[in-house]
Amino acid sequence: MVVSSGVEHLSNRGLAVAQSEALAGSVPVIFQLREKGLEAGAVHSLCLQLSPLIKASGSLLMLNERFDIALATGADGVHLPESACPCDIVRKAAPGLIAGGSVHGKATAVEAARAGIDYLLFGPVFPTPSKEAFGPSQGLDALQEVCRSVSIPVFAVGGITPEKAYACIENGAYGIAALGPFLDTGALCATINRFQSFIDL
Amino acid sequence: MILPRKFLCVITDEHLCPVKLAGMALDGGARMVQLRRKTASGRELYEWASRIQELCRQRDAVFIVNDRVDIALAMHADGVHLGQDDLPASAARSLLGPDTIIGVSVSSAAEAEKARDDGADYIGAGHIFPTFSKEKTSPPLGTAPIREIAKASGLPVVAIGGINMDNLRKVMAAGASAVAVISAVSGAIDPVSATRTLVNQIWQ
């Protein structure tokens, strides 16, 4: 399961820290930090704060795009959007990091897998306001097609609820990724458990 | 990579093709090119950076990436330039190793000393004059602090901010080792000859 976090469309600056603290009581997840609105210096100090919390919880900290900051802060990996520096180049420059990527179609999924990416986020599978920029929802059939075309784990993203998670797994997804459901940090562990129960069905 | 003595650094703007601008700056005699495009994607920056680095190698000029240490690492740039809000220079130094040039923007002698202690090779001091190329909330420094910043840090000072062919000599006389410009070249009708004029003035 990928728990995405980012304040670019929220006003809650302490969100990522509160989420990371809450992860102490959770099953391990991939915690993906996407802080587009922050300067690199602020992301660096935030990551220094998050990294030990995430490590202690057994989860993985993935940082969007900036593998330099990931390397400098002890994060586990880097997440590469389609518009990021090519994966094979990142791999060469930062061989010790896990590399995840976002794709929105089969062709780019196959290309990313060939370039050596470790896992993919594919979506938006269902309609969602936070992924509107990536076009209309693509549905479960498209998810299945992408999952069949690569041998690396594919996480379904976009409008995923616990109830919809099962259908994603049935269609070949390795797991799911979401942002909205995890904003309530007080209920974070319960929400993750609820997702997990549908993933494990 | 070693810094040249007295040089012009041309920084890319938000509009012109950075590769084209870099080519014109090098034709005009700039010894340093800095790729800065805040709105560009990582992929765009990587592609531009690879091509500009190649151009700079052909001319024995220095290629610097603004802010994005990741891009500099990915394509082995000659250096990076860091603002006060960017990745700390100390962190950049451990990632890039001893041979990559690191520049740090400062607006005071205290920031310059800190930059030197964090491993900077040169200081970007500014903004010296009023400028519209970057949004600024603080008043311009003027030329007086340049010598103080140079003395405090013991490093070459690259002056930046509103510098053009009318005021460049004043900046050099105030103790700068180099000058960085954006609009004085990118906004010129003929960027090559604008660069040449600025370079000539640096050496006058």
Are A106 and A127 in contact by the 8 Å Cβ rule? The answer is no
Closest approach of B24 to chain A, Cα-based (Å):
26
Backbone angles phi, psi at B60, to 5 degrees: 60, 35
Does a structural domain hold residue B1? no
pLDDT over 90 at A135, yes or no: no
pLDDT of residue A1: 81
Q: Is the preceding peptide bond at A124 cis, omega within 30 degrees of 0?
A: yes
Tokens at A148, concatenated: 């069949």
Interface of B with A in 95-114 (CB under 8 A): 95
Pairing of strands B7-11, B79-82: unpaired
pLDDT number for residue A201:
81
Q: Which of residues 85-114 of A touch B (CB under 8 A)?
A: 85-86, 89-90, 92-94
Instruction: Respond yes or no: is residue B105 known to be catalytic.
Output: yes
Question: How far, in Å, CA of A62 to CA of A15, rounded?
Answer: 16
B74 touches chain A (CB under 8 A): yes
CB contact under 8 A, B86 and A90: no
The active-site residue out of B6, B51, B59, B134 is B134
Report the candidate in A59, A48, A46 with the shortest Cα–Cα distance to residue A12. Answer: A46
Amino acid at A54: I
How far out from the chain centre does Cα A61 lie? 9
- pLDDT at residue A10 greater than cutoff 80: no
The whole domain housing B168 covers 7-203
Specify the range with the lowest mean pLDDT, choosing from A106-115, A128-137, B166-175: A128-137
Q: Do B74 and A40 touch (CB under 8 A)?
A: no
A41 touches chain B (CB under 8 A): yes
Q: Say if residues B126 and B141 touch (Cβ distance below 8 Å).
A: yes
- The arithmetic mean of pLDDT across residues A3-31, rounded, is 82
Contacts of A44 in chain B (CB under 8 A): 87-88, 91
Q: Which residue from A191, A54, A177, A192 is spatially nearest to A126, judged by alpha carbons?
A: A177
End-to-end CA distance of chain B: 26
Are B46 and A86 a contacting pair at CB < 8 A? yes
> Is residue A40 less than 8 Å (CB to CB) from chain B?
yes
Least confident piece of the model among A125-134, A157-166, A169-178, B72-81: A125-134
Residue A116 sits at φ, ψ, to 5 deg, of 100, 20
**For this structure, is B57 an active site residue?**
no
Segments of chain B scoring below 50 in pLDDT: none
Supply the mean pLDDT for chain A.
Answer: 92
Q: Per-residue confidence at A99, pLDDT binned at 50, 70, 90?
A: very high
- Whether B2 is covered by a domain: the verdict is no
How far is the C-alpha of A101 from the C-alpha of B75, rounded, in Å? Answer: 20
- The CATH number assigned to the domain holding B107 equals 3.20.20.70
Question: Three-state SS string across chain B, please?
Answer: CCCCCCEEEEECCCCCCHHHHHHHHHHCCCCEEEECCCCCCHHHHHHHHHHHHHHHHHHCCEEEEECCHHHHHHHCCCEEEECCCCCCHHHHHHHHCCCCEEEEEECCHHHHHHHHHCCCCEEEECCCCCCCCCCCCCCCCCCCHHHHHHHHHCCCEEEECCCCCCCHHHHHHCCCCEEEECHHHHCCCCHHHHHHHHHHHHHC
Check CB contact under 8 Å for B85 and A83.
Answer: no
Show the domains of chain A with their CATH numbers: 2-199 (3.20.20.70)
pLDDT, average across residues A172-190: 93
CA–CA distance from A161 to each of A179, B36, B164 (Å)?
10, 40, 58
**Residue B134's pLDDT is what?**
66
Residues of A (48-87) whose Cβ lies below 8 Å from B: 65-69, 71-72, 80-81, 83-86
Local structure of A3: helix, strand or coil: strand
Question: Are B68 and A68 within 8 A, CB to CB?
Answer: yes
Contact B148, B141 (CB under 8 A): no
pLDDT recorded at residue B2: 82
Count of domains forming chain B: 1
Exposed/middle/buried for A143, CB within 10 Å: 0-12, 13-18, 19+?
buried
Average pLDDT over residues A129-158: 89
Q: Are B41 and A84 an interchain contact pair (Cβ–Cβ within 8 Å)?
A: yes
Question: Hey, are the CB atoms on B42 and A65 less than 8 Å from each other?
Answer: yes
- Give me A18's structure tokens: 């509160």
ipTM value for the complex? 0.93
DSSP A86: P
The pLDDT of residue A131 is 59
Interface residue of B46, B71, B73 to substitute, partner A, most A CBs within 10 Å? B73
Q: Answer whether B78 touches A (CB < 8 Å).
A: no
The question of whether B94 is a catalytic residue gets the answer: no
Locus of tokens 């998670």: A165
Q: Is the CB of residue B55 less than 8 Å away from at least one CB of chain A? A: no
Number of other residues whose CB lies within 10 A of the CB of residue A38: 18
B58 phi and psi angles, rounded to 5 deg: -60, -30
Identify the pLDDT of residue B82: 98
Check: CB of residue A56 under 8 Å from CB of residue A67: no
B104, β-bridge pairs: B82, B123
Q: Which residues of A touch B95 (CB under 8 A)?
A: 68, 71-72
More confident residue, B5 or A41: A41
Residue A54: closest CA among A10, A7, A113, A98: A98
- pLDDT (0 to 100) of residue B138: 87
Taking contacts as CB-CB distances below 8 angstroms, the residues of chain A near B47 are none
CB contact under 8 A, A85 and B45: yes
